[in-house]
Structure 1
C-alpha cells in the first residue's frame, strides 16, 4: 500500500522532505517547502538538487538504495520477515531507515528524530574487553554479532566492520541505547585469509597522508589477537558545545545518481557510469574545480601505483555545505587490493582506453585528462609530465620504509607497479624499484 516516510538530516529539527512509496514499489522524493525556505538548506544529493518539484523513481531509487548496506543480511531479514519485495525501497527503509549510515535517516511519518549530537561524557558506554573481543571475533569469523549487540551505524562495503566511539582515554564505546548519538570510528576486521589487511591498509593510508592528500586518520589495534584497523570518521566534527555531530556527505554513486551495483565503470553504460567524464562534470560543481580535478588526477596515479585498483564510486565522497556548496571529503578507503591474488587487477575506472596497468600509455593518460575536462592539449602534457613522474619518484623513495615495516609483499608490489608503469611510459626505472623481487599475481 502507499507509504509516506519522513526524511531527516541530522542538525535540523524538522524533516527536510518526504519519501513516497506506491503500491507497486515505485518511489518518489520531495523537499518540504519550509526546508527550502531556510537560508541554510542544503541538498541531500547532487542528483536531487533543491527544488520545489519532486523527483520520480529513477533518481530517488538510486539515492535511497545507496543508503542501505551492500552486505544485505539485514535487508534480507527484513524482506523475509515482512514479505517485502526486494525492490520495495520505501518498504525496506520503513524498517531500516533509522540506521542509515551518515547524517540522513528515513523514518515513519511523524516519528521523532533518531539521530542527535552526542555528549562523550553522557551518551556512551565503554565496551568491556570481553565484549569487544567477542564482537571482533564474530566479525573476523564472519558470524552474526553477539545477540545483544546492535551496530549503531551499519556501514556500506563488503568488509566486516562496526562503528564505535573512541573515548578521550582511548577506550572504545558504544552509544547508549536510544541515545541517537553518533559514532566516531570504524573498526575494520579482516577474515582469516586476509589477516594482514589492517597493516596493509594502514600503510597505504599513511602513504596517502605523506603525499599531502586529505586522508582519514588510522591506527592498527590488536584485539583478541587480531590486527584491526581503526579509522577515524571524516564525517564527524565537534560543535561549539563540545558535542559530536554528523557532517552531511554522499559518495559518488549517490551524487551521480547511480545504483551501488554500478560503482565500477565497467558495469555502467555510456552517459550513465562512473567514468572520467562523469567525475569531471561532478568536480566542476565544487568550490574550486581546478584544485579538485588536479587532486583527483594525483590520487588516481598514486592509487594505481600502490596497487589500489578498487577506487570505485563508493570510495569517493563529497561534503555538502550550506549555500549549495560542495567539496571532496578526505580519503577513507585506500587499500593495495592487488595484494589479494583473488581479486581483479582491472581499474575501477579507465585511464583513457587502458583498463590495466600494463596497457597504460601517454595517449591513454592524455585521453583521461581530456575526459576530466582539461581542454588544452599543451596543458594536459604539462600536467601529466608533472604528476606521473613525480608520483613514481616519491613512491620509489618510500619502498625501503615499507619493506622495513615487515611488509615485503607491499614493497614488492609497489616496485613491480613502478617498473610496469616506467616501461609503458618509457621512463627510466629508478632504484630501489628496479632491484626488488617481482610481485606475481
Structure 2
C-alpha cells in the first residue's frame, strides 16, 4: 500500500492536510486529515476537493494531484530516469512533489530525505539549459525533485536579482522563476511569448514579470524567465544557502478546479468550457465582477493574438496566504500559435460553440456574453477598445524588445497581424 502525505503552506507555515493512499495510481484516494478538518480556519486545497466530502475517489484524486506534474516529453524523460511507467503518477509525485506550483507539498515518508538548498548554476549550465532544451530541463527537474506542470521544457529556478545569479532549488527549497527553453519545432517562441505578454500588458491585462535570458550570440539559444506570482517575499523571511526564502501562495488551474482531467484540457465537443470558467469565477472569486472582466479580456486577447493553445490549464486561480480569498491569476503562457504552420486553427476553448479561429467573429463574442452571463454592452465595449488599441500596444512592445536587441519581433508582429484574429477586425 502506497501512502503519501499532503501538506499545504498557510501564512508561511506548512500544515498537514491529509494523505493519498492506494495500491497504485489506479485506486489511490485522497483523504483530509481530521486535524486539518477540525481547524475551522482551514480551507480546501482545491475547489474540486471540498472539505465537506473529506475523502475522494481515485478519479478526482488523480485529476488534482496529477495536475501538479509535468506533461509530455519532460514527464516521459523523468519516468525513464526513474525506470517507471509514465502513467504512474503516484511514483512521479513521490519523487517531484516537494516543490510544486502553488503551495501544496507531497512527501513520501518512506523515501530518502532531500536536504533543501540552493545550488548556484554556472554559466555553462545555463547555456546547456538553453541549447539542450527539454532534455536538459527534464534532468534538472529530476535532480532538484521539483515539479512544474505543462508540456514544454521548463524548470523552476531561484534568481538573485541583485547579483544576477541563478540557483537550482533542491528538495523543498522554493523557486522564484519559471524558466522555459526555445522550442525545437517552434522557432523564435521565446521572443513570440515576450512580445505577446508585453502587448497584453500595454492593453491593461495583468501579467507576471518576465524577461529573456541570452546565453550567447545565437538568437535561438535564449531562455524565457517568468517571475512566479505564487511566491512572495515578506519581512523576516527565513534564509537558506544565504538567500531569503519566499512564502508559497496556493494556486490551481481551472482544469483542477473544475475536475477535468489534463487529457481533456482542450474542449472538443461543445462542452461549454467558457461558461464553466465564468461560473467558477462567479461562485468562488472574492471579486467576481472584476475577475469576470479580467477573464473576458484574456479570452479576447487570445483570439486577437492568434493563440489557439488557450486551454483550461493555461488559466489559474490564485489564493491569498491564508487560503481564504481566491482571485483570477495573472495571464501566462500566451503566444501566437497561428504564426506556425504546424499549429491547429482550432481554439482550445470555443467561442459561442465555434472553434476555428477563421470562423470566429465579433458577433461570436457578442453571443457568447449571453451564455457566460456577463453584460453584453460592457463586454463588447471592452472588446472594441482592445481591437482599437491592439496595433499601438504591439508596436510599443515591439519597440521595447527591438531596443533590447531582439530584431526578430518585427517579423513576428507582422505575422500576428496577418494570421491572428485581429486580421478579421475592422473599425
Instruction: Tell me which of 112, 120, 131 is aligned to 1:126.
Output: 120
Corresponding residue for 1:241? 236
Q: Quick check: 1:399–1:415 contact (8 Å CA) kept in 2?
A: no
Corresponding residue for 1:37? 38
Corresponding residue for 1:97? 97
Corresponding residue for 1:435? none
Corresponding residue for 1:187? 179
Larger radius of gyration: 1
Could you say what secondary structure the match of 2:390 adopts?
helix
Could you say what secondary structure the match of 1:194 adopts?
coil
Q: Quick check: 2:3–2:19 contact (8 Å CA) kept in 1?
A: yes
In the TM superposition, residue 402 of structure 1 has moved relative to its aligned partner by 5.5
Which runs of 5 or more structure 1 residues have no equivalent in the other structure? 117-122, 429-441
Corresponding residue for 1:231? 226
Distance 1:58 1:309 in 2: 28
Distance 1:385 1:328 in 2: 20
Distance 1:327 1:198 in 2: 28
Question: In the alignment, is residue 212 of structure 1 matched against residue 214 of structure 2?
Answer: no
Instruction: Tell me which of 396, 409, 412 is aligned to 2:411.
Output: 409
Corresponding residue for 2:167? 174
Which runs of 5 or more structure 2 residues have no equivalent in the other structure? 238-244
Residues 20, 145 of structure 1: alpha-carbon distance in 2 compared, 3 angstrom cutoff: closer
Question: In the alignment, is residue 198 of structure 1 matched against residue 190 of structure 2?
Answer: yes
Corresponding residue for 2:71? 70
Could you say what secondary structure the match of 2:35 adopts?
helix
Q: Quick check: 1:310–1:347 contact (8 Å CA) kept in 2?
A: yes
Q: Quick check: 2:182–2:189 contact (8 Å CA) kept in 1?
A: yes
Residues 82, 204 of structure 1: alpha-carbon distance in 2 compared, 3 angstrom cutoff: closer
Question: In the alignment, is residue 159 of structure 1 matched against residue 157 of structure 2?
Answer: no
In the TM superposition, residue 397 of structure 1 has moved relative to its aligned partner by 2.1
Could you say what secondary structure the match of 1:98 adopts?
coil
Could you say what secondary structure the match of 2:226 adopts?
strand
Distance 1:241 1:112 in 2: 30
In the TM superposition, residue 255 of structure 1 has moved relative to its aligned partner by 0.7
In the TM superposition, residue 403 of structure 1 has moved relative to its aligned partner by 5.8
Corresponding residue for 2:23? 22
Distance 1:98 1:386 in 2: 45
Which structure shows the bigger proportion of residues in strand conformation?
A: 2
Could you say what secondary structure the match of 2:370 adopts?
helix
Corresponding residue for 1:120? none
In the TM superposition, residue 392 of structure 1 has moved relative to its aligned partner by 0.9
In the TM superposition, residue 79 of structure 1 has moved relative to its aligned partner by 7.4
In the TM superposition, residue 220 of structure 1 has moved relative to its aligned partner by 1.3
Corresponding residue for 1:436? none
Corresponding residue for 1:340? 340
In the TM superposition, residue 191 of structure 1 has moved relative to its aligned partner by 3.4
**Aligned pairs, how many?**
405
Distance 1:23 1:399 in 2: 49
In the TM superposition, residue 189 of structure 1 has moved relative to its aligned partner by 1.0
Q: State how 1:313-352 maps to structure 2 within 5 Å.
A: 313-321=312-320, 322=322, 324-352=324-352
Corresponding residue for 2:308? 309
**Greater relative contact order (Cα 8 A, min sep 6): structure 1 or 2?**
2
In the TM superposition, residue 124 of structure 1 has moved relative to its aligned partner by 2.9
